[in-house]
Every structure is written in structure tokens, then in C-alpha cells.
Amino acid sequence: MKILVTGGAGFIGSAVIRHILQNTVDEVINVDKLTYAGNLSSIATVLPSERYVFCQVDICDQAALTNVFQEHQPDAVMHLAAESHVDRSIDGPGEFIQTNIVGTYQLLDIARGYWEQLEEEKKSAFVFHHVSTDEVYGDLDGPEGFFTEDTSYDPSSPYSASKASADHLVRAWNRTYGFPVVITNCSNNYGPYHFPEKLVPHIILNALKGEPLPIYGDGTQVRDWLFVDDHARALYKVITEGKVAETYNIGGHNEKQNIEVVQSICSILEELAPDNPNSLTSGKGYADLIEFVKDRPGHDLRYAIDASKIEKELGWRPQESFESGMRKTVLWYLENTAWWQAVLDGSYQLQRLGAETGVQE
């Protein structure tokens, strides 16, 4: 199968591509604009590969995107391209509206036109997989209950509202045009190659530099944490075995308060990097760097995923516990300083000039 992956240079998209190239015989067309969060070095471990091609294309660019479909003739689409940082969406929602809503529309429109002209055998096998988030559901009241595939949408931030809008467009294309789609809504991802603005890598790298570890409010916000490689396995399960027009929630079965996440990282660092000179010059431990800061507007209190449907129907369960996954994550950042140093100093953006491997168009 030839799979077109949008946002394949991002955190989850690159994990999907690594999974496909390492564990299947499928081909990948990576379509990515290479915004600030796109990093082709996140795929370098599985390249070069004759089963991989990279196209630096904005999904809002109708002509360029149409050319990608016409030239590469994909059998399926995995749509992961999105602006995804909540704080950035609060400060400047315009990019989120453009990429997450308008971009999804453009992709749907072009993919539908392409699908309609396919021969019957390829047409019946084609699927458009839209990758979304549990944040479209809003938050849960209290410590009980879970998001299911039937939970009503109640987004709180410009980011989650833009993703909710995209979900609605995808479902509308199925109901109106019969376009074969499937949607997944995932919980908070973490793992290797995560852009440093997100909570887990931000805390790890600040701790290693001896800088404050900021936590919003009192840190009691609860999230379900999903190791990114487990998510990649689930996404591939869905695109190859999922039922058209269905939604699947994907969760890690790991509810943790934000303060617990930060404390866990500090504890692992005390074990794996106890003598780090940058963070421990004062003789204090990593946890002493924790600081509580003003909460962000509209901050949801609790997300929790009921992932029983994907387990029952497709046989997927996460392989990593929170403890094992977080330990692997911290160890990866300790062992891959070149990757995150290039992000922090901006040199990773040289890839825009064609510095990375892979076929670029």
C-alpha cells in the first residue's frame, strides 16, 4: 500500500513513518510544509529508503497538493498535519484556523476528486484517515467518567475548536459524498522527537539546564498519557483494519496529574543523570526547580479516554505503561542531545534548504 502522510515531519507523523518503514512493506509519501515544528531529522533513522518520498507542500496549496496526488497515486491518506500547541492558539488563532480547518477542507476536496476517478478496485480500498485529539470533547467533571466515541463535542481552546471543526468536515464528506473516512481521537502523546515547547520535553530540557520547571495553576490537571510509538501502532491498525465511517478513541490507560508527570521526570533524572552540573550547581535536586505559574485561559481540568472500542474491534492495546514509556523518553533525550540541541539553536531549520536526506520536490 502507498500511504500519503500529511505532517510526517511532526512528532506523531514522524513516529508513524518510522513505524511503517520499519515494520511493513508499505510505501510512504510524506507531505509536510516544514513549519517550525517540522523536523526531517526525526525520520533520519529509517532513511534512505526506496519506499519513501518527501514533498515539501502546504496542504492549503491546492495546486501543489493536487500535483502530489496525481504524481504519486496514493492508496490511502493519513492526515496528521495540524497546528497543535494550545498556548500558541490562544496567542494567535489565525494559523490554527487556516491549517486545521481550511487545510483539512483543501485536502478533503482534492482527495475526494482523486478518489472519484480511481478504478473500482482501488476506489473501494481507498481510505482517508483523519487524526484528531481528545481535546475536542472539552473536559470531564470530576474524577469519574471517560470520553467515548459518542461524547458530545465541547472544545475549550482555539486549537481544540479548530480540530473539532475539522472532524465535522471529515464526517460531512462521508455523509454527503460517500467519501470513505475514519477518525481517531487520541490522548496526550509523549516520547522521543517531541518538539521542546510541549510539557514533557520542556520539563526534561529545563531540568538538564537547571532552569525553572513551570507548571500551570496548582498542577492538578489530569491527562491520559499515551506513548507515541503505541499511538503509531494504533494508527496503522486503524488505517489497515478500521471500519469506514467509524471513530476510534486511542488512549494510554495512564491518567496522571501534571504535577505527577513533572515529579516522575525529576525522579527518573535523579537516577539517570544525578551528577548533571548544569541543573544541580546549587546542591538541590531536580524537583526543587518546580515553579507554579499563572494558569492559562480555558484550561481543561481532566481528559480521560475510554479506548475499549479499538481494543475489542481491532485488538490494539498500549504496550508501554506510563513508567516504562516515560523512562524510555527521558533516556532518549539524555542520549540524543544533538537532535534537541539543533532544535534549540535553530540549526534544524537548515532542512528547508534541502540539507536532509530523502527525495524533495
Q: Report the run of H or E that residue 250 belongs to, with start and end.
A: strand 247-250
| Three-class DSSP category at 45 | helix
Q: Quote the DSSP letter at residue 72.
A: H
Burial of 282 (0-12, 13-18, 19+ CB in 10 A): exposed
Cell numbers representing residue 123 in the block:
476506489
Half-sphere exposure at residue 104, Cβ-oriented, CA atoms within 13 angstroms: 30
CB atoms within 10 A of CB 120: 7
Cell numbers representing residue 290 in the block:
518546580
Q: Report the run of H or E that residue 256 belongs to, with start and end.
A: strand 255-257
Rounded distance between C-alpha atoms, residue 117 and residue 284, angstroms = 65
Active site (catalytic) residues: 134-135, 159
What lies within 8 Å, CB to CB, of 282 at 6+ separation is 210, 288
Q: Rg of the chain over CA atoms, in angstroms?
A: 20
